[in-house]
Chains A and B, each alone.
Chain A
């Protein structure tokens, strides 16, 4: 099952500079695990012990996963997932 994934610039050093990759997963959690297999180290940037880090937003077709089912959010063929680290300061 091919899911199109947007990789933000801070993570592209792990994807050979690619901003868009394809991965598999029936849920967001499974997708992240697959991404980590394909691009070692990427899982750790996104998650801490399989939970997406607080400062990382995950969008599935434009909807943030925390308004869906978090890491258990189901994915379908053709879905688009984007990882967006928070941009904030003071």
Chain B
């Protein structure tokens, strides 16, 4: 389970819409399962099919959040046309098993679908997204 605010949810959807037709990506920092900060990141692939965060920018984000006692608890990205479920690429590249992977699908543009998953050793399990 991951808890986010309505503002976080709105921001994820807005980011996805703004970056379409490319996938967007970003990070959620907090404690335990409670998200406190959302940080948009640049998808350096600039692709409708893939996303990647520049590792140096990633380190800078981790470092800054570490200094204020927040941990990475979620990674979000968008699927511009496919469902909100981890793709084979998502599963094979999932390098943060302790984080929730949030996916927002714009397959139905007026009804963005946001879901969360854990991806551990190639296995996907859905987690509840609680919006406060």
Q: Does B66 belong to the interface (CB within 8 Å)? A: yes
Give the complex CA separation of A19 and B77 in angstroms: 25
Query: Does the CB pair A88–B56 fall under 8 Å?
Result: no
Selected from B45, B72, B88, B101, the residue in CB contact (under 8 A) with A9 is B72
Q: Is the CB of A59 within 8 A of B50?
A: no
Interchain nearest-CB distance for B96 vs A (Å): 6
Interface segment out of the listed A30-38, A69-77, A79-87: A79-87
Cross-interface CB contact of B96 among A9, A57, A62, A64, cutoff 8 Å: A9
The answer on a CB contact under 8 Å between B89 and A8 is no
B90 touches A59 (CB 8 A): no
A88 to B42, alpha carbons, bound, how many Å?
11
Interface contact A90-B51, CB-CB below 8 Å: yes
Chain A 27-46 residues near chain B, CB threshold 8 A: none
Q: Does B97 contact A (CB under 8 A)?
A: yes
Residue pair A87, B66 in contact (C-beta under 8 Å): no
Total count of chain A residues near the partner, CB < 8 A: 18
Evaluate contact between B49 and A85: CB separation under 8 angstroms.
Answer: no
Q: Is B49 a contact of A90 with CB atoms below 8 Å?
A: yes
Chain B: residues with CB nearer than 8 A to chain A? 23, 25, 45, 49-53, 55-56, 58-59, 62-63, 66, 71-72, 75, 77, 86-90, 93-99, 101
Please indicate the chain A residues that have their CB under 8 angstroms from the CB of B62 in the complex: 6, 8, 84
Q: In the bound complex, how far is the Cα of B51 from the Cα of A88, in angstroms?
A: 5
Q: Is A85 a contact of B95 with CB atoms below 8 Å?
A: yes
Selected contact of A84 from candidates B51, B58, B66, B97, CB within 8 Å: B58
Q: Please determine whether A62 and B87 come into contact, CB atoms closer than 8 angstroms.
A: no
When A9-B71, A10-B98, A89-B89 are in contact, do A82 and B59 touch as well, CB less than 8 Å? yes
18 contacts between A and B (CB under 8 A): A6-B63, A9-B96, A10-B98, A19-B66, A55-B95, A59-B56, A59-B59, A84-B55, A86-B55, A87-B25, A87-B55, A87-B58, A88-B45, A88-B95, A89-B51, A90-B50, A90-B51, A90-B93
The residues of A that contact B66 with a CB separation of less than 8 Å are: 19
Which of chain A's residues has its CB closest to B79's CB? A90
